Amino acid sequence: MSSASTAGPQNLVDTVGMSYLESTPRKLVTVYLPLAVFLFVLLFPFYWMGITAFKPNNELLSREGNPFWIHAPTLAHVKKLLFDTSYPEWMWNTVVVSVVSTFASLAASVFAAYAIERLRFSGAKHVGLGIFLAYLVPPSILFIPLAAVVFELGLFDTRWALILTYPTFLIPFCTWLLMGYFRSIPFELEECALIDGASRWQILTKIILPLAVPGLISAGIFAFTLSWNEFIYALTFVSSSEVKTIPVGVVTELVEGDVYHWGSLMAGALFGSLPVAFIYSFFVEYYVSGMTGSVKE
């Protein structure tokens, strides 16, 4: 037996597929080193955002010295951002638009998904397919005619323009995701409730929704980040500074001519990214399941 285990290369080849038998140095080179490079590249822009936001201008615009560190940190850029620009207003707009459109879309999607998946009205299958196709319509082919619609409805340059158009990508996504969750809830539960005399409304609110809470959180988190990050509609449908959202405000208003205020630009980018990153950090699992679920279905 001992001779077999020391049989050398032959034996090694046989077991190389079992990762737990791999030697540590080998794993260091084949797994941890590439992973570290990936991690570095994926996270470096955020580090750069953070460090630029607190770096004084003379350090930013100098090729001497170590650019990876701040020698004399400053809050000047943040101060400029908060007091000399409409940044706080943009932040507020982004919050209002994201929260309202997320909840509205979630509510509409719960009903739609329940109707398609559980009421099975005639034509439900086709409606489900239609929802999936709607999910595939990218905003960048829709924004021109949508701008015309928004204008006709007199919504141009208002928050309503965004609150009402964001559901065009939120509802298909949330409905599609919730359909998957509702499908996993056993029919028997509903049948029992029906026999006990529950109405459809009671079944929805007392049985289905409590069981679908993880799905609701996934859909909600995902919808919130999608609307927080939305750019092209907000860029097209809004033109006054006081109605802009953060991504649009930072891109269109913090850039003045040829002089780039990199410090405040990066501070704006950083604070605009932090809320989603913060929420995401609490709901990573829900977010991932939402993302993979929407693709896998």
Partner 1 sequence: MRANGKSTMLEKLQNSRNALGLIFMLPAAVLLLVFLTYPLGLGTWLGFTDAKVGRSGVWIGLENYEFLWNDSVTRLALFNTLFYTAVASIVKFFLGLWLAILLNRNLRFKTFFRAVILLPYIVPTALSAIAFWWLYDAQFSVISWVLTRLGLIDRYIDFLGEPWNARFSTIAANVWRGVPFVAITLLAGLQTISPSYYEASAIDGASPWQQFRHVTLPLLTPIIAVVMTFSVLFTFTDFQLIYVITRGGPLNATHLMATLSFQRAISGGALGEGAAISIAMVPFLLAAIMFSYFGLQRRAWQQGGSDK
Site for partner 1 in 22-61 (CB under 8 A): 27, 31, 34-35, 38-39, 41-43, 45-46, 48-49, 52, 60-61
Instruction: Considering only residues 132 through 151, tell me which ones interact with partner 1, judged by CB under 8 A.
Output: 133-134, 136-149
The residue (of 1 and 144) whose beta carbon lies closer to partner 1 is 144
Query: How long is the chain?
Result: 297
d(CA 149, CA 126): 26
The residue (of 140 and 189) whose beta carbon lies closer to partner 1 is 140
CA-to-CA separations, 227 to 55, 120, 207, in angstroms, rounded: 31, 30, 29
Does 107 sit near partner 1 (CB under 8 A)?
yes
| CB 70, min distance to partner 1, A | 13
Which pair of tokens denotes residue 222?
Answer: 């995902």
Is residue 58 a contact partner of residue 73, using CB atoms and an 8 Å limit? no
d(CA 140, CA 232): 7
When binding is defined by CB under 8 A, the residue of 100, 200, 211, 241 that contacts partner 1 is 200
When binding is defined by CB under 8 A, the residue of 12, 119, 192, 213 that contacts partner 1 is 119
| CB 91, min distance to partner 1, A | 12
From the number of C-beta atoms within 10 Å of its C-beta (0-12, 13-18, 19+), residue 262 rates as middle
Does 88 sit near partner 1 (CB under 8 A)?
no
Q: Is the alpha carbon torsion for 294, 181, 131, 105 positive or negative?
A: negative
Runs of H (alpha helix) within 184-254: 187-195, 200-203, 209-211, 213-229, 232-237, 246-253
Does 229 sit near partner 1 (CB under 8 A)?
yes
Does 8 sit near partner 1 (CB under 8 A)?
no
| CB 246, min distance to partner 1, A | 7
When binding is defined by CB under 8 A, the residue of 1, 3, 5, 17 that contacts partner 1 is 17
When binding is defined by CB under 8 A, the residue of 171, 179, 212, 219 that contacts partner 1 is 171
| CB 3, min distance to partner 1, A | 20
From the number of C-beta atoms within 10 Å of its C-beta (0-12, 13-18, 19+), residue 77 rates as buried
When binding is defined by CB under 8 A, the residue of 7, 11, 12, 14 that contacts partner 1 is 14
| CB 83, min distance to partner 1, A | 20
Does 18 sit near partner 1 (CB under 8 A)?
yes
Q: Phi-psi region for residue 64, left (φ > 0), alpha (ψ -120 to 50) or beta?
A: beta
Q: How many residues bind partner 1 (CB under 8 A)?
A: 96
Does 250 sit near partner 1 (CB under 8 A)?
yes
When binding is defined by CB under 8 A, the residue of 108, 198, 207, 209 that contacts partner 1 is 108
- 3-state SS, residue 294: helix
Half-sphere exposure of 81 (CA within 13 A, CB side): 27
Does 220 sit near partner 1 (CB under 8 A)?
no
Does 235 sit near partner 1 (CB under 8 A)?
yes
Does 7 sit near partner 1 (CB under 8 A)?
no
Instruction: Considering only residues 264 through 283, tell me which ones interact with partner 1, judged by CB under 8 A.
Output: 265-266, 268-269, 272-273, 276-277, 280-281
Residue 169's nearest CA partner among 100, 102, 244, 95 is: 102
Residue type, 130: G
